[in-house]
Structure 1
Amino acid sequence: MHRRRRTALVLSAAIVAAAPLLTACGNDAHPGAAAVVGGQRITVAQLETRVNEVRAAQRAATPDEAQYEQAIARTGGLTRDTLHTMVLDEVLKRAAEDAGVGVTRKDVQAFRASLEQQAGGAKGLETAWLQQYGVAPKRLDDSLRTEIAAQKLAAALGADMNTDAGKATFWKALSDASKKLDVDLNPRYGSWDVQKSSRVDAKTPWVREITAPAQPQSA
């Protein structure tokens, strides 16, 4: 399977290094919330459920104890990565809405069918998405919907993701959406950088390149 990261989930080292920090600092005004996005809470319980789904899927996919421990080690930052994904998905959804972009069930089904064909079937695709992106099988369609939304947003913006200018245009749209949603993270998970539309650690180093849409390649 392909080695690229999910389009909307990761930040390039160049963008992380270059963009100024404009963080929306978290506070304790929302007890029990891992984050508040557009006035809606992402609860700690919801976050833990998503993380547990991935751990359960990893356990089922790797019955060998040593291999399972290796999978756990490779995804040591799963909780924070998962929260990053959950928040960024909402930011992307808002940016897509602002651009008049929508994703239909038919879009998702067609995209999934194409990926499954190249992955050697549904199981192969689920395994690849779990291993490469930390997405549990039950969340695969949601992940694909986000992927399609990112690609459609780039197209609507006229952003060529093979160029720095195109990437800047894309991330500017996400930055604008972050500001509108007033993202607020619980301090235990860091804070949200509206300029880069990414979770950042408040003090200690506890941070993923926007790539052009690409088709998976068989191994």
Structure 2
Amino acid sequence: MSTATRRRTLTRAAGAAVLAVLLTACGNSLAGKALVVGGTSVDDAEIAELTEEVRDVYAAYPKDFAAVGASFDEGTVVSTNVNRLTRHLLLLEAAAREGITVTQGQIDTSIRTALENQFNGSQTLLDVTLAAQQQAPPSATSEVVYDFLVLQALAEKLKPADPATAPVNEYLVDLAAELGAEVSPRFGVWDAESISLTPVPDDLSVLPNLAPTE
């Protein structure tokens, strides 16, 4: 490992550690934990690490972020990932209950299709796009695609007679209430009706871009 690479690694690790300490110190509710869904929790340290990953992508490709009107905002990255992981845990439970299976092969196919059709085969371009538009770091790409595919399958299974209804949202709202989904208030206000952390928008709304083509 070169001296420069070692320095970047140490700096990143130190930054993540400092951010984790600051997050924990911001409030006593769910001390050390960013969110809890049922019996599963996500620690502040994981959120800090994800935030540092996005920071790394931005540091490497600031012009690409600027090209889509994005920049690095730590508060937005933190809250968006808290929101995403809360919904991810809900979707994991929904998939288990409804018998929905999403394999790694399906995830890989979706990513490969997106790379070929939308990103000129460039993994870097996909990574930068997800980081800039959804604040999702490269390590979360499979989770992001998994959530989208589960949402698709859940929507198909719960398809209502009246297309004006939103059965998936209703299902997830009820599930969140049943499991006692809780987000530490230092990250924002958890809106039970929209199953999202306000004012962060639903980052899954742009995922059709990752859907495999027929």
Q: Normalised by the shorter chain, which TM-score bucket?
A: 0.7 to 0.9
* 152-161 or 180-189, which deviates more: 152-161
Instruction: Please give the TM-score of this superposition, normalised by the length of structure 1.
Output: 0.71
Q: Is the 8 A contact 2:37 2:86 kept in 1?
A: yes
Measured in 2, the distance between the counterparts of 1:212 and 1:158 equals 20
Greater relative contact order, per chain length (Cα 8 Å cut-off, separation 6+): 1
Aligned-residue Cα RMSD (Å) equals 3.2
Give 1:63 deviation, angstroms: 7.2
- 1:188 maps to what in 2? 186
2:142 pairs with 1:141: yes
CA deviation profile, 1:48-92 (whole Å, cap 9, x unmatched): 11111111111122279x99xx6125x752211111111111112
Q: TM-score, normalised by structure 2?
A: 0.72
Q: Aligned partners of 1:159, 1:136: CA distance in 2, in Å?
A: 34
Deviations 1:116-151 (A, max 9, x none): 111211232222222221121222122111111111
Long gaps (5+) in structure 1? 1-26, 201-205
The C-alpha deviation readout for 1:31-52, integer Å capped at 9, x for no partner, is 2111121122211111111111
Which amino acid in structure 2 is aligned with residue 124 of structure 1?
Answer: L
Change (3 A) 1:159 1:124: farther
**What is the aligned partner in structure 1 of residue 80 from structure 2?**
81
Change (3 A) 1:216 1:37: closer
Tell me by how many angstroms 1:100 deviates. Answer: 1.4
Paired residues in the alignment total 181
Listed as ranges, the gaps of 5+ residues in structure 2 are: 1-26
How far apart are the structure 2 equivalents of 1:71 and 1:191?
A: 23
Q: 1:38 to 1:149 in 2, by over 3 A?
A: same
CA contact 2:35–2:184 (8 Å) conserved in 1: yes
> CA separation of 1:125/1:212 partners in 2, compared to 1, >3 Å: closer, same or farther?
closer
Whether the 8 Å CA contact 2:29–2:184 is kept in 1: the answer is: no
After superposition, residues 1-219 of structure 1 pair within 5 angstroms as: 28=28, 30-62=30-62, 71-73=71-73, 76-118=75-117, 119-121=119-121, 122-158=123-159, 163-165=163-165, 168-200=166-198, 207-208=200-201, 214-215=208-209
Distance 1:207-1:113 versus aligned 2 partners, 3 A rule: closer
Bigger share in helix: 2
The alpha-carbon deviation at position 159 of structure 1 amounts to 5.2
